[in-house]
Chains A and B, each alone.
Chain A
Amino acid sequence: MSAFLEIRGLSAVLRGTDLRLLRSVDIDVPVGTVRGLVGESGAGKSMIGRAVLGVLPRAVEIVEGEILLDGRDLLAMPPVARRRLIGARTAMIPQDPLTALNPSRRIGRQITDRLVDILGWEPARARSRTLEMLAEVRIPEPERVLRLYPHELSGGMRQRILIASAFVAEPELIVADEPTTALDVTVQKQILGLISELQARHGTALLFVTHDLGVVAKICDSLSVLYAGKVVEDTTVARFFEAPAHPYSAALLAATPRHTDPASSLKPVPPAVMHAVGAEIAAADRSWRPRHG
């Protein structure tokens, strides 16, 4: 079975410079699976998610590679067709549920607007589907919540709204960008459980951006470890936590806090490892010339 999302040799630079931000990235997300994108700040994990959704900042320029959605290369399509395809078949769960919702508009409208205006649904169908979806993310009294404003809901409730909004049009791919980082651990557990449950029930492909290997262990099937815009390890969750193959990802795992084993966790990344991964990237850059360059 081919993957629903396939990223092939994707490289990006800071516009007008030779500074590489993404380095020949390859990532697959098969139908119905969850792929974790892991790395430290600045590794490029959010950038990959945004490239897939076609919402990169203007300063980032893709110089080579393919982003195949169900076999069609997004980068080779005219912008209007690309936006239509992305809008119809993908969705996003953002990090901060407060800034992602418009504070001056009611919850209901914020979900149905996209269905009606962009996907061309009948307003009545959009409304009934939204109510169904709110019930599915276990929001009590969905009829009443539709009329509320974002500030009237707690952080966990707001994140449920965004999850409902992501799943409402049955997308085949969802990009989740650190969806629980701003939440308390107890709420995080509920929200991750909910995302997992919906993803499995709807058979959605999920690209899950996170800095937390603990979260990866709980909800992903496979993961890509990024450093400086390069995938240093691409493996399954089972294999990774058994024995990570790349020294950098092994060091990252050893640095992750683990309350069940405090003595062997929170190990600082050895300078030699940082050196080696830096050298690996410099070597890859020396042999790289952008195709159109």
Chain B
Amino acid sequence: MAEALFRVEALRVELPDMTRKPLFGPVPRLEILKGLDFEIPRGAVLGIVGGSGSGKTTLGRTLVRLMEPTAGRILFDGADITHLPDAAMRPLRQRIQMIFQDPMSSLNPRLTIGRIIAAPLNATSRDPRVAEALGHVGLPAEFVHRYPHELSGGQRQRIGIARAIAMRPDFILADEIVSGLDVSSQAQVLNLLEGLVRDLGLTLAFISHDLSVIRRLCDRVIVMQTGRIVEEAPTEALFEDPQHDYTRELLDAIPTPDPTVRW
């Protein structure tokens, strides 16, 4: 079997707990992630699910090195990137992209769509890559002249996706990217993402609190609770035969759109 794209070993993250900061003396530490081990195989779509405060967003941010781990190792494509300095990290950044939850606050309102997508590209390849990225997300090329406020929520989230894939990354982290959308645009964005993962051979980590969405998109699922992985399984197995009580509790709590199913 080929080497996994991401390998995470005994990952821990601690942060100072400012709510319990004493006037003098050291600030107590709060453990956010309590030793996580997992892999993301090349071309896989990994779902990360859990309630608020379970650490799923912190895990994502640590994975793409937006947050510094306290202990443990992160291997990307075989190389240890756990404490790689910014300069050495930079060439890897284009291979590791992120799509954020709220497209309104992650797109600069003063830039046109064209400039937003082009910003990280180098000057020679800009225009064709921007057009290509817009094509991939099913938006017309004229959108380069528009501003984020002129677009609907679903269109804005597609710009977020276009910006990520314009870099031709190997890996994308998507953190709750459909939770702010109406169901009709939610379905569109998910279908789009599903197609892109397949066509471009992307590896995706998809963070969500919504198990129904995870089931549709992901191959494997990690269930998190208070900073620990309580269950990891192929999607099918997780839904058909959940092993951990917390997974069962999450599944039971989903309101299925069917009044005949007792809740």
A266 and B191 form a contact (CB under 8 A):
yes
- A217-B257, A253-B257, A259-B256 given; A186·B249 CB < 8 A: yes
- Hey, which chain A residues are within 8 Å of B89, CB to CB? none
A260 and B239 alpha carbons, distance in the complex (Å):
9
Given A189-B252, A217-B255, A218-B255, verify A255-B263 contact (CB < 8 Å): no
Contact with B257, one of A184, A256, A268, A269 (Cβ below 8 angstroms)? A256
User: Which B residues are CB-close (under 8 A) to A258?
Assistant: 212, 256-258
Residue-wise, chain A 155-180 has the 8 Å CB interface mask toward B (1 for contact) of 10000000000000000000000000
CB < 8 Å A-B pair total: 104
Q: Interface size (A, Cβ < 8 Å)?
A: 36
Please tell me which one of the listed residues B182, B211, B257 contacts residue A41 in the complex, with CB atoms under 8 A apart: B182
Most buried by B among A213, A215, A258, A266: A266
A-facing mask of B227-263, CB < 8 A → 1, else 0? 0000000000001000000000111111111111101
**Smallest CB-CB separation from B182: which chain A residue?**
A40
* A218 x B186 contact (CB < 8 A): no
Q: Which residues of B contact A241 (CB under 8 A)?
A: 257-260
Per the 8 Å Cβ criterion, residues 209-254 of A in contact with B are 211-218, 237-238, 241, 251-253
A252–B183 CB distance below 8 A = yes
Question: Nearest Cβ distance between residue A107 and chain B, in whole angstroms?
Answer: 20
- Complexed CA–CA distance, A212 and B261 (Å): 16
B213 at the interface (CB under 8 A from A): yes
Contact partner, A217, options B216, B239, B251, B256, Cβ 8 Å: B256
> What residues on B are CB-neighbors of A184 within 8 Å?
51-52, 209
Whether B67 is near chain A, meaning CB under 8 Å from some CB there, is no
Q: Is the pair A259, B255 in contact by a Cβ cutoff of 8 Å?
A: no
Please report which residues of chain A, range 177-217, place their CB below 8 angstroms from some CB of chain B when the two chains form the complex.
184-186, 188-189, 192-193, 211-217
Q: Identify which of A186, A193, A251 gathers the most chain B CB atoms within 10 Å of its CB.
A: A186
Contact A255 B183 (CB under 8 A): yes
CB-CB under 8 A from A40, the residues of chain B are 182-184
CB-CB < 8 A to B258: which residues of A?
217, 241, 258, 260
How far is it, in angstroms, between the C-alpha of A255 and the C-alpha of B216 when the chains are bound? 12
A259 pairs with B215, CB closer than 8 A: yes
Minimum CB–CB distance for A198 against chain B, Å: 17
Query: Across the interface, which residues of A come within 8 angstroms of B261, CB to CB?
Result: 217, 260
With A217-B259, A218-B259, A218-B263 known to touch, is A259 a contact of B254 (CB < 8 Å)? yes
Q: Which residue of B lies closest to A260 (CB)?
A: B256
| Nearest opposing residue in chain A for B183, CB measure | A255
Q: How far, in angstroms, from A252 to B186 measured CA to CA in the complex?
A: 11
Contacts of B213 in A (CB 8 A): 257, 266
Q: B190–A266 contact, CB under 8 A? A: yes
Query: How far is A211 from B180 in the complex, measured between Cα atoms in Å?
Result: 11
In the complex, A126→B184 CA distance in Å? 46
- Chain B nearest Cβ from A135, distance in angstroms: 24
Interface-central residue, B51, B52, B257, B260, by most chain A CB under 10 Å: B257
B184 and A214 within 8 A (CB): no
CB distance from B6 to the nearest CB of A (A): 25
- Whether B254 and A185, one on each chain, are in contact in the complex, defined by CB atoms closer than 8 angstroms, is yes
Asked, given contacts A185-B250, A214-B254, A259-B211, whether A252 binds B184 with beta carbons under 8 Å apart, the answer is yes
Instruction: Out of B153, B191, B209, B250, name the residue touching A268 (CB < 8 Å).
Output: B191
A162 and B260 CA atoms in complex are apart in Å by 29
7 A–B pairs (Cβ distance < 8 Å), ordered by A = A186-B253, A193-B263, A213-B257, A217-B259, A238-B259, A256-B183, A260-B256
Interface positions of B (Cβ within 8 A of A) = 51-52, 153, 182-184, 186-188, 190-191, 209-213, 215-216, 239, 249-261, 263
Closest 6 CB pairs of A and B: A257-B212, A214-B255, A40-B182, A259-B212, A269-B184, A185-B253
